[in-house]
């Protein structure tokens, strides 16, 4: 337990010293012709923070996609910012932390990229790079989704740590 607090304290110090701010990475993402986001690098401060928190590429946990629609079937996501609820520990970030990111609904499948995590036991937001995934096309929008929205049958997905957004 003491090592978890030490790691979170180290990340808080890293955030104070870093020039970047979680969430600023969401601006200026190029879009593909289908409306889904193009490639994006994971900022160096996020890679460093994830290393301290033992959040390595491929590590995963379950999340409730929208903190405002937990356990709702179906859910509607909108283009723009999102707050998700971590259901399992992810590295040293303990559930039920919050994950903050951005949703794109322009393509045939919803794309959710996470740029920061907020531990609920205090401390600053921690920069991360993670994506929401669900196998067998389950993040595919339902046909009755209107432009700028995505209706999904599942309110949950896996969140996976990445070293870049593809």
Residues 76-124: tens digit of each pLDDT: 999 999 999 999 999 999 999 999 999 999 988 999 999 999 999 888 9
Domain boundaries, the chain: 2-21+31-165
Confidence of residue 55 (pLDDT cuts 50, 70, 90): very high
pLDDT above 90 (res 24): no
pLDDT at position 2: 52
Q: What is the pLDDT of residue 28?
A: 81
pLDDT of residue 119: 94
Q: Can you tell me the distance from the alpha carbon of 77 to that of 25, in angstroms, rounded to the nearest whole number?
A: 20
Classify residue 146 by its DSSP letter. P
Two tokens at 126? 């921690």
Model confidence band, residue 166 (pLDDT cutoffs 50, 70, 90): very high
Neighbours of 91 (CB within 10 A): 21
Q: What is the CATH number of domain 2-21+31-165?
A: 2.40.128
Closest Cα to residue 67, out of 138, 8, 118?
118
Arithmetic mean of pLDDT, 57-62: 96
pLDDT at 19 over 90: no
> What is the C-alpha separation between 88 and 103, in angstroms, rounded?
21
Higher confidence at residue 59 or residue 5?
59
Block residue for tokens 């920069």:
127
Arithmetic mean of pLDDT over the chain: 86
pLDDT of the residue at 20:
39
Please state, in angstroms and rounded to a whole number, the distance separating the CA atoms of residues 108 and 142: 9
Whether pLDDT at 53 is above 50: yes
Question: Mean pLDDT, to the nearest integer, of 126-146?
Answer: 92
pLDDT at residue 18, rounded to an integer? 41
């Amino acid at each position: 337990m003491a090592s978890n607090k030490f790691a979170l304290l180290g990340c808080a110090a890293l955030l104070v010293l870093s020039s970047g701010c979680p969430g600023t990475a969401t601006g200026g993402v190029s879009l593909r012709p289908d409306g889904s986001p193009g490639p994006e690098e994971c900022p160096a401060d996020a890679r460093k923070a994830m290393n301290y928190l033992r959040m390595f590429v491929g590590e995963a946990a379950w999340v409730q996609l929208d903190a405002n629609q937990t356990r709702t079937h179906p859910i509607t996501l909108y283009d723009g910012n999102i707050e998700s609820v971590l259901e399992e520990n992810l590295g040293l970030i303990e559930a039920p932390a919050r994950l903050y990111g951005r949703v794109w609904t322009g393509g045939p499948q919803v794309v959710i990229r996470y740029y920061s995590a907020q531990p609920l036991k205090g401390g600053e937001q921690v920069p991360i790079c993670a994506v929401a995934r669900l196998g067998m096309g389950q993040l595919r929008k339902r046909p009755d989704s209107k432009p700028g929205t995505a209706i999904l049958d599942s309110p949950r997905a896996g969140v996976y740590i990445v070293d870049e957004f593809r």
